[in-house]
Copies of this chain bind each other. A is one copy, B any other.
Amino acid sequence: MSKYVFGVDVGGTTVKLGYFDMEGDLKDKWEIPTRTENKGESIIPDIAGSILVKMKQEGIAKKDIAGVGLGVPGPVTDDGTVLMAANLGWNMYNPNKELGELLGVPVKTGNDANVAALGEMWKGGGQGHANMVAVTLGTGVGGGIILNGQIICGSNGAGGEIGHIHLNDEETESCGCGNTGCLEQYASATGIVRLAKKKLADSSKESVLRNEEVTAKSVWDAVKAGDELAKEIAEMYGKYLGKGLANVASVVNPEIFVIGGGVSKAGEVVIDYMKPYFDKYAFPGAKNAKFALATLGNDAGIYGSAKLVIG
Query: Can you list 14 A-B pairs, Cβ within 8 angstroms, ordered by A?
Result: A78-B148, A143-B251, A145-B252, A154-B252, A154-B253, A156-B285, A156-B288, A158-B253, A158-B285, A158-B286, A164-B283, A166-B250, A177-B283, A248-B251
List CB contacts (< 8 Å) of A133-147 with chain B.
143, 145, 147
Chain B residues with CB under 8 Å of A251's CB are 143, 145, 159-162, 165, 247-248, 251-252
Contact of A157 among B164, B243, B250, B285 (CB under 8 A): B285
Is there an interface contact between A155 and B247, defined as CB atoms closer than 8 Å?
no
**Could you tell me which A residues sit within 8 Å of B by CB distance?**
75, 78, 129, 131, 143, 145, 147-148, 150, 152-162, 164-166, 177-179, 181-182, 243, 246-255, 280-286, 288-289
Is there an interface contact between B157 and A253, defined as CB atoms closer than 8 Å?
yes
Is there an interface contact between A247 and B166, defined as CB atoms closer than 8 Å?
yes
Is there an interface contact between A177 and B255, defined as CB atoms closer than 8 Å?
no
- The CA-CA distance from A152 to B146 in the complex, in Å, is 11
Contact of A155 among B143, B164, B253 (CB under 8 A): B253
Query: Given A152-B147, A251-B251, is A161 in contact with B281 using a C-beta cutoff of 8 Å?
Result: no
- Output the nearest chain B residue to A283 by Cβ-Cβ distance: B164
- Output the nearest chain B residue to A157 by Cβ-Cβ distance: B285
- The CA-CA distance from A282 to B251 in the complex, in Å, is 15
Query: Given A148-B78, A286-B158, is A165 in contact with B247 using a C-beta cutoff of 8 Å?
Result: yes
Is there an interface contact between B166 and A246, defined as CB atoms closer than 8 Å?
yes
- The CA-CA distance from A302 to B257 in the complex, in Å, is 35
Query: Given A148-B78, A177-B283, A179-B283, is A255 in contact with B155 using a C-beta cutoff of 8 Å?
Result: yes
- The CA-CA distance from A56 to B249 in the complex, in Å, is 46
